[in-house]
Structure 1
Amino acid sequence: MKNYLLYDFIQVAGGAERVTLTLAEAFPDFQTLVSRSYPDAQPLLDASSAQVQELRGGWSVCLPRIWESMWCFRFRAGRLHDAHTVLYSGFYAPLAVYQQRSGRRFYYCHTIPRFAYDLYDSTLAGFPWWLRPFYAIFVRWFRKQYEAAIGRMDRIFVNSENVRARLQRYIGLDAEVVYPPVATQHFRFLADEGYYLSTARLVPNKRVDVIVRAFLQMPERSLVVLSGGPELERLKAIAGVAPNIRFTGWQADDALRRWVGNARCVIYLPVDEDFGMSPVEAMAAGKPVIGVAEGGLLETVVPAETGLLLNPPPSIEALIDAVEEMEISVGPTLSELCRRRAVLFSEKQFIQSMKKHLR
């Protein structure tokens, strides 16, 4: 039987890329197809036993990343013609559904393309005025393509109740929740070295600037920013020469687990996060989470049991208060509650659910 697993592209060591490789390892009889794999994701690919095939080729390699991905799945996925089962994910891979003439069609939705729906206005405002009409035309066209493609699926799965509600609100489709796999088995409590950890990508909607500004007012507390992104230099400028704030850049998986395992607490304050793997990784290591009461964190962090959730939008003052409260809360009991909670979102649970649906 011809079975396929499709995802847009392997760009970085991100959550969706990890889900794709977990599925590829759990279903070795599925061929995994992406438009392209990028150098920043090579360490992730090297650590996986999954075999990932690229669709790129010909003149389309000259296209920008998104356009290349759309072209590859729309016109270079002819091998799907007689497929038995195809599991689509991402924004652009579903366009390959038009190549599939028979068999079952499943879609695992990490999130809807937010740039075209709930974040459309803010994304549009980020373009120069003369580019905005072209962007608006592209989004109207892309919405039609995306909605028509996922409308052809037999079943749709989403990674959280948050994304399920978003899909219903903007597209009018319902779905089944299958929480994504978190490699909880790799995270351990190692020690409490007293520092607070931020693992979010350095982009505006992760609100890492709030965290940095808060720790500028807490020189007695240490912050480690364990990530990179386009906001890195701006955040470094905000931190200045503060000796209690350290930027490490992106870390390999082993180093990430050591940093989490030795932290006192993980702080994660994104805007309406789809699901959020970082809080679950923290809890798997017995570390509490200071988060925000919106998005996927409402489904993973239990206030007063596995961490604290701040009212959105989180203020600097509220974060400072939460850190001081955490200082007197950490201990063996809190760590054990965190570990128990994290097990509910393990790779084992995810694979069992997906095998039940796909088999």
Structure 2
Amino acid sequence: MHQLVVHFFVFLLILQAMPKQTQIIHDMFQIKGGGERLVIAMCQGLDTDLLTAHIGPNTFDLSQINGDVINLDALSRIHGIKTWRLAKAFKNLKTEQNCYEQIIYSGVASPLAVHHFPTAKNIFYCHTPPRFVYDKKSYYADGFNPLKRMAFNLLVNWFKPQYEKAIKQMDVVLTNSHYVQARIKSTTGLDAAVIHPPCDTHRFKWIAQGDYYLSMARHDDLKRIDSIIKAFLKMPDKKLIIASGGGQTDALKRIAGNAKNISFTGWLNEAKMMSLLGNCLATIYVPLDEDFGMTPVESMSAGKPVICSNHGGLLETVIDGVTGYFVSSENLVNDIIQKVNLLSNNHQASLMRSACEERAGSFDTQLFLKKLKEFL
């Protein structure tokens, strides 16, 4: 009996010493965004542990993850130094080396942890090279006063070489669209393989054909919700519901004024958002320079066509005239009006339902996991 107990504890010690298979390291969980959904899908589908620098109150419930969840709680409460704090947290990560066979990195700052795992297979899922470092550096800098601009440039000069050194240590680089694949090549010189993000197609359901259009995008100026509002101000007989929230909410409400056909919901729980989506006539999503855009895929999964921008990763998801309509940036407001009228007439949105659902199946979570496992 004594020997059995000894052997049992020796077995436990050996088991603990064995390397675990996979850990995912993601920048932070601050919102309910597409990147966060992707990481949760990977954690669940691959049965992994998760390490992140921050878990906020307005993000997804991470208790659904079976593996260990480690929160470094490293996000600064001081506005403007978020990236620096995240980068420092991952760069100076205190963790046991060589305890995982594979590490999957997601985000902008998380790759800086790569030097802690020299014997692991390091896989980077790049949602985009950091825009503030590369193609949108001037866009962000122009929005700062001289003092903040100087601090911003110092951050870029400090972060860029470390980021580039880290991603060159990756064994595999993956990304979410051919559009971002080309950006990765042009900015870093690296070749990335494309695996489109996953959509839990069984979660989104067509419920009824309502009489309102739905915007689900975060309230950010690059999402151009202001143009959607301006279009519906010219169509008082058409209803628009603006869900979600963000830094631009107050400004968007001022633009909408007291228009009776435009309403704001604020942030919603999952059930209410699913109900809004399942009952709408169609969705509108017109961001500028979108990397991939999960919202149109979710909309199509619910059998709802999408009015969306005619550039970026959206060209890889929506089929113009089949699962929605593209609108041009050159005449955005009027183009939105035209496409709304097209969808509102002759039950056109209903006729697109089956094509939308079929198209969404190309981005199903199980297909995503199957493709991902080919690189593990």
Q: Same fold (TM over 0.5)?
A: yes
Cα distance, 1:255 vs. partner?
Answer: 1.2
What is the RMSD computed on CA atoms of the aligned residues? 1.7
Question: Is structure 2 residue 319 aligned with structure 1 residue 299?
Answer: no
Counterpart of 1:316 in structure 2: which amino acid?
V
SS for the counterpart of 2:329 is coil
Question: Is structure 2 residue 40 aligned with structure 1 residue 21?
Answer: yes
Which residue in 2 is equivalent to 1:219?
A: 236
Counterpart of 1:8 in structure 2: which amino acid?
D
Match of 2:289 among 272, 278, 281: 272
Contact map agreement 1:56 1:68 (CA 8 A) in 2: no
Question: 1-side partners of 2:209 and 2:288: how far apart?
Answer: 28
Which residue in 2 is equivalent to 1:321?
A: 338
Contact map agreement 1:269 1:314 (CA 8 A) in 2: no
Counterpart of 1:36 in structure 2: which amino acid?
H
Match of 1:45 among 51, 54, 62: 62
Question: Is structure 2 residue 303 aligned with structure 1 residue 286?
Answer: yes
Question: 2-side partners of 1:22 and 1:291: how far apart?
Answer: 25
SS for the counterpart of 2:286 is coil
Gaps of 5+ in 2: 1-18
Question: Is structure 2 residue 362 aligned with structure 1 residue 340?
Answer: no
Which residue in 1 is equivalent to 2:168?
A: 151
Cα distance, 1:251 vs. partner?
Answer: 1.2
Question: 1-side partners of 2:331 and 2:161: how far apart?
Answer: 35
Question: 2-side partners of 1:50 and 1:189: how far apart?
Answer: 33
SS for the counterpart of 1:201 is coil
Cα distance, 1:47 vs. partner?
Answer: 5.3
Which residue in 1 is equivalent to 2:50?
A: 32
SS for the counterpart of 2:290 is coil
Question: 1-side partners of 2:68 and 2:99: how far apart?
Answer: 21
SS for the counterpart of 1:320 is helix
Question: 2-side partners of 1:194 and 1:47: how far apart?
Answer: 35
Contact map agreement 2:55 2:73 (CA 8 A) in 1: no
Distance 1:208-1:335 versus aligned 2 partners, 3 A rule = same
SS for the counterpart of 1:131 is helix
What are the within-5 Å matches in structure 2 for residues 119-130 of structure 1? 119-130=136-147
Counterpart of 2:209 in structure 1: which amino acid?
D
Of residues 106-115 and 203-212 in structure 1, the stretch that sits farther from structure 2 once superposed is 106-115
Question: Is structure 2 residue 173 aligned with structure 1 residue 135?
Answer: no
Contact map agreement 1:279 1:300 (CA 8 A) in 2: yes
Cα distance, 1:140 vs. partner?
Answer: 2.1
Match of 2:205 among 172, 175, 188: 188
Which residue in 2 is equivalent to 1:198?
A: 215
SS for the counterpart of 2:174 is strand
Of residues 134-143 and 254-263 in structure 1, the stretch that sits farther from structure 2 once superposed is 134-143
Contact map agreement 1:279 1:301 (CA 8 A) in 2: yes
Question: 2-side partners of 1:201 and 1:55: how far apart?
Answer: 26
Gaps of 5+ in 1: none
Contact map agreement 2:289 2:312 (CA 8 A) in 1: yes
Question: 1-side partners of 2:214 and 2:106: how far apart?
Answer: 30
Which residue in 2 is equivalent to 1:12?
A: 31
Counterpart of 2:325 in structure 1: which amino acid?
L
Question: 2-side partners of 1:183 and 1:47: how far apart?
Answer: 15
Of residues 252-261 and 131-140 in structure 1, the stretch that sits farther from structure 2 once superposed is 131-140
Cα distance, 1:101 vs. partner?
Answer: 2.0
Question: 1-side partners of 2:261 and 2:65: how far apart?
Answer: 36
Of residues 235-244 and 129-138 in structure 1, the stretch that sits farther from structure 2 once superposed is 129-138
Of residues 203-212 and 128-137 in structure 1, the stretch that sits farther from structure 2 once superposed is 128-137
Which residue in 2 is equivalent to 1:112?
A: 129
Question: 2-side partners of 1:292 and 1:62: how far apart?
Answer: 34
Identity %: 36
Question: 2-side partners of 1:119 and 1:351: how far apart?
Answer: 31
Cα distance, 1:91 vs. partner?
Answer: 0.6
Cα distance, 1:23 vs. partner?
Answer: 0.8
Question: 2-side partners of 1:48 and 1:154: how far apart?
Answer: 26
Of residues 106-115 and 127-136 in structure 1, the stretch that sits farther from structure 2 once superposed is 127-136
Counterpart of 1:33 in structure 2: which amino acid?
L
Question: 2-side partners of 1:145 and 1:118: how far apart?
Answer: 18
Counterpart of 1:163 in structure 2: which amino acid?
V
Question: 2-side partners of 1:162 and 1:39: how far apart?
Answer: 32
SS for the counterpart of 1:296 is helix
Question: 2-side partners of 1:192 and 1:62: how far apart?
Answer: 44
Contact map agreement 1:294 1:312 (CA 8 A) in 2: no
Contact map agreement 1:21 1:50 (CA 8 A) in 2: no
Residues 6-41 of structure 1 deviation map (CA, whole Å, 9 limit, x = unaligned): 00111111111111111111122x321011211111
Which residue in 2 is equivalent to 1:234?
A: 251
SS for the counterpart of 1:78 is coil
Cα distance, 1:226 vs. partner?
Answer: 0.8
Q: How many residues align?
A: 354
SS for the counterpart of 1:291 is strand
SS for the counterpart of 2:266 is coil
Cα distance, 1:163 vs. partner?
Answer: 0.8
Question: 1-side partners of 2:230 and 2:350: how far apart?
Answer: 30
Contact map agreement 1:292 1:314 (CA 8 A) in 2: no
Contact map agreement 2:343 2:349 (CA 8 A) in 1: no
Of residues 307-316 and 87-96 in structure 1, the stretch that sits farther from structure 2 once superposed is 307-316
